[in-house]
Amino acid sequence: MLGIVQILAGLALFLFGMHMLSSGIEKLAGDKIQQWLERVTSNNLKSAGFGAIATALVQSSGLIMVTMIGLINANLMTVEQSIAVMLGQEIGTTVTAQVVAFEIGNFRLLLLVVGFIFLEFSLRHNWKTFGELLMGLGIVFVGMEMMSSALDALITIPLVSNMLMHLDKNIGWGILGGMVLTGIVQSSTAVSSLTVAMGISNVITLPGAISVILGANIGSCVTGLLASLKLSSTARQASLAQIIINTTGVLIFLPFIMPFVALMEKTSPLLPRQIANSHTAFNLIVSLLLFPFVKPIASVVKRIAPERNEKDEGKKTLYIDENQYAVPSVAISEASRELYRMGEITNEMLVLSCQALIEQDEGKAVRVIEMENSLVNPIAHELDNFIGTLMLADLSQQQQQRCFQVKTLVIDIERVGDMAEDIAQFAQERMLGNIAFSDEAITELNYLWKFVHNTYSDALTALLKKDKELAQKACQAESEFDNLYAQARERHVKRMEEEVCTPSANVIFTETLRNLERISDHADNIGLSVLQN
């Protein structure tokens, strides 16, 4: 009983260490992974190469998967390209087993000590994160040592010994065991590493270890599919593609397991290294075999899980989902995309509302009010809640700043929507009261709203592209508009004194000017935010 508890404790430490390790790497990398992925998807070979390297570096296939789904949702990556990345990702996931197969002795304790020193005593945030990374790696090795020691004791129990040592006689049980165990711990890397630990303790044969690893490969994608059921169709397509890749790989290998075992036994005299090499060789061969079939696999998953029109299903946000909380850099990036989308909607509302006022177009006025209630307000609410929840996670200083930026700008952009709605209501009031505007007032409004529209557009583009030069231009335009606003008010007062404009027109005109000035202020806030972050 004590041995089983020790194995579970070792497994818990291993998983915790892997979480610390991948979290540390993810914080150091920030959104660079997403930026790199956007650049290398020009062809499938580059995509596969990136998948292998990135997964090996960050030690988290989940991070890569969530990043890909975000890029697919943003139309920056195709399902076909994501499948190529997955094939490379399969190779990258084997690095952990190769690392834990090393006998590093007390070096793991040194990793813990050095990591703790960096984490607790460094003043710079990046060095603290590096300490988190080292501590995570040290805890991974401590967990492996605990599992290996416990397995040494368990092997003395005849029932356990017979069951583990005879897995090679019934490969199916090994595959099933790998699937079930992966489903329980939600990590194929942990199961593969546990198998290496068994090899260190000589409690499993190479054929038995290979069968468990094959089962772990299938188990990992089944849990991924279950997690994707409540997400977008692109997430389901990606998960289905992973199932097809891993299941097909296992089916291809089943008839050749014993010849494969004979080949792997020649790669090293040590069983743990043979197991790690088998894992790497299996995933490498499967990826190479399936690489020519990337397009057919993409076609199959698109038929099984066709894309749905998210808007028709009442979905307001397009880019954010709760699955992204696990990878803060991706969550922040997708929240920024959602913020820009919200800005584009309010910019369209600004145009429509001013056109409705000048042209006396009831349809455009109604459309603006509908957009405010059915799009802007729900998106603002969901985005604010999303960022609020994300800020409770363990974030780097830079990530915290970006979250605060998004949360602040949600308010600015929502206010622009409110102002556009006000102008639309002024348009309805003008039409209802048959209120006439002078030609001078119409000309002035036309010039001013287009000026504000251009300023707001520049601010939003600067936000999207992180373009400080364009942000500066938007801020300067806001200062210029303050003068235009003051001059327009003076000319309007003069028209009122000359009785060119009626009192009823006065209220609508001056309030519209005031709303345009406020929108210009919010554009300035967006520009300043880009300059300061």
Instruction: Tell me, yes or no, whether 146 and 256 share the same domain.
Output: yes
> Quick one: pLDDT at residue 162?
66
- The mean per-residue pLDDT over the stretch 311-323 comes to 70
Structure tokens at 319: 């880019």
- The mean per-residue pLDDT over the stretch 147-174 comes to 68
pLDDT band with cut points at 50, 70 and 90 for residue 155: low
User: 434-438, 489-493, 501-505: which has the minimum mean pLDDT?
Assistant: 501-505
* Residue 311 falls inside a structural domain: no
* Residue 234 falls inside a structural domain: yes
Instruction: Tell me, yes or no, whether 182 and 253 share the same domain.
Output: yes
Instruction: Tell me, yes or no, whether 384 and 505 share the same domain.
Output: yes
| pLDDT over 60 (residue 314) | no
pLDDT band with cut points at 50, 70 and 90 for residue 312: very low
Instruction: Tell me, yes or no, whether 326 and 282 share the same domain.
Output: no
| CA dihedral of 391, 396, 402, 407, whole degrees rounded to 10 | 10
User: 12-21, 28-37, 263-272, 322-331: which has the minimum mean pLDDT?
Assistant: 28-37
Number of domain units in the chain: 2
* Residue 315 falls inside a structural domain: no
Structure tokens at 407: 């949360």
| pLDDT over 80 (residue 34) | no
- For the chain, the average pLDDT equals 85
> Quick one: pLDDT at residue 500?
72
What CATH number does residue 373 fall under? 1.20.58.220
Query: Is the Cα torsion angle 203, 207, 213, 216 positive or negative in sign?
Result: negative
- The mean per-residue pLDDT over the stretch 471-484 comes to 94
* Residue 317 falls inside a structural domain: no
Instruction: Tell me, yes or no, whether 243 and 329 share the same domain.
Output: no
Count the alpha carbons within 13 Å of 57 in the hemisphere toward its beta carbon: 14
* Residue 36 falls inside a structural domain: yes
Residue where one domain finishes, among candidates 278, 304, 330: 304
Instruction: Tell me, yes or no, whether 470 and 348 share the same domain.
Output: yes
Q: Could you tell me which of 47, 52, 55 has the C-alpha nearest to residue 84? A: 47
pLDDT band with cut points at 50, 70 and 90 for residue 309: low
Residue where one domain finishes, among candidates 256, 273, 304: 304
pLDDT band with cut points at 50, 70 and 90 for residue 41: low
**Residue 58 near residue 64 (C-beta atoms within 8 A):** yes
Instruction: Tell me, yes or no, whether 232 and 339 share the same domain.
Output: no
Instruction: Tell me, yes or no, whether 134 and 166 share the same domain.
Output: yes
- The mean per-residue pLDDT over the stretch 288-311 comes to 83
Parent domain of 497 = 322-532
Q: For residue 9, what are the CA distances in angstroms to 15, 109, 115, 272?
A: 10, 18, 21, 21
| pLDDT over 50 (residue 311) | no
Instruction: Tell me, yes or no, whether 130 and 258 share the same domain.
Output: yes
Instruction: Tell me, yes or no, whether 90 and 116 share the same domain.
Output: yes
- The mean per-residue pLDDT over the stretch 108-113 comes to 84
Instruction: Tell me, yes or no, whether 360 and 264 share the same domain.
Output: no
Q: Could you tell me which of 335, 246, 311 has the C-alpha nearest to residue 282? A: 246
pLDDT tens-digit map of 432-462: 988 888 888 899 999 999 999 999 999 999 9
Instruction: Tell me, yes or no, whether 339 and 441 share the same domain.
Output: yes
> Quick one: pLDDT at residue 390?
94
More confident of the two residues 167 and 201: 201
Model pTM above 0.85:
no
> Quick one: pLDDT at residue 156?
60
Give burial (CB, 10 Å; 0-12/13-18/19+) of 117.
Answer: middle
Residue where one domain finishes, among candidates 304, 334, 360: 304
* Residue 310 falls inside a structural domain: no
- The mean per-residue pLDDT over the stretch 406-413 comes to 96
| pLDDT over 80 (residue 106) | no
